[in-house]
Amino acid sequence: MGRLTEAAAAGGSASAARSARPAPTSLALSSTSPGCAATMASSEEDGTTGGAPEAGEEREATLKRRRLGFLATAWLTFYDIAMTAGWLVLAIAMVRFYMEKGTHRGLYKSIQKTLKFFQTFALLEIVHCLIGIVPTSVLVTGVQVISRIFMVWLITHSIKPIQNEESVVLFLVAWTVTEITRYSFYTFSLLDHLPYFIKWARYNFFIILYPVGVAGELLTIYAALPYVKKTGMFSIRLPNKYNVSFDYYYFLLITMASYIPLFPQLYFHMLRQRRKVLHGEVIVEKDD
């Protein structure tokens, strides 16, 4: 969905909105997305992700990166290049499908394997945090990545009647552009050759992609509600030997409601980070 403290948004959703990590010790933004509680396609940063971390100064990021071992830096460079390439392949496949078919119907089915592979591959971002080669909160990154996987596997994959919804295209486009921008940003940052356009795109695209990704995620979950209620999928009814009940329908309603407090908070956080990175403003954030 896609991500928690960043946007890129791409969000979408969990569009979001991801959402991202301070690039292998570099700047950041998520998918991503409050998706599924933080999928901000959205995000970004992004809300992304995989992953939602804090943007930092480039010089500071470079100093941090020097503390990484050669193997860690090499692996992260490989990972970011692979993810950039993967999302580029996805983007090309989406454009080609639409040019050939002239409709979005069937689009998800045609690209689902690539989407599932690279979005699930993003679980490695949690591992990166756990072993300390990326200085981002495990909890924040975990929420970003899991929320995206939730949207992919437990919503669009599991509920086939919604796969041709226009809202699916919304978060797919938002996520794809967000992730291409995010991972290319990380790659060039690691190589110490960050083009200004990539930096500019990283901190501007989310302004549109974050809301688009979140909207796509919310509309997709909403479209899934009638099917979930009718079939009772993923729900546990009483009585049972564990004396536990779970209603997936109400879980989805709660997930949608979680976007209300999370989206504005994350979006405005990323706007502050944008001013800091692109315009050099000193942002003093109040402690909660």
Annotation marks residue 210 as catalytic: yes
Give the N- to C-terminal CA distance of the chain in Å, as an integer: 25
Is residue 21 a contact partner of residue 128, using CB atoms and an 8 Å limit? yes
Q: Which of 44, 217, 248, 249 is catalytic?
A: 217
Written as one string, the DSSP assignment of 167-188 is: HHHHHHHHHHHHHHHHHHHHHH
Give the single-character DSSP code of 25.
Answer: G
CA dist 175 and 11 (Å) reads: 5
SS3 content of the chain, % helix, strand, coil (to 5): 60, 5, 35
Annotation marks residue 217 as catalytic: yes
CA dist 270 and 283 (Å) reads: 11
Four-point Cα dihedral 215, 221, 224, 225, nearest 10? -110
219 to 10, 15, 156, 162: CA distances (angstroms) = 15, 12, 12, 10
CA dist 134 and 193 (Å) reads: 19
Nearest CA to 182 among 56, 287, 30, 34?
Answer: 30
Q: Which of 79, 183, 203, 210 is catalytic?
A: 210
Q: Which residues are catalytic?
A: 210, 217
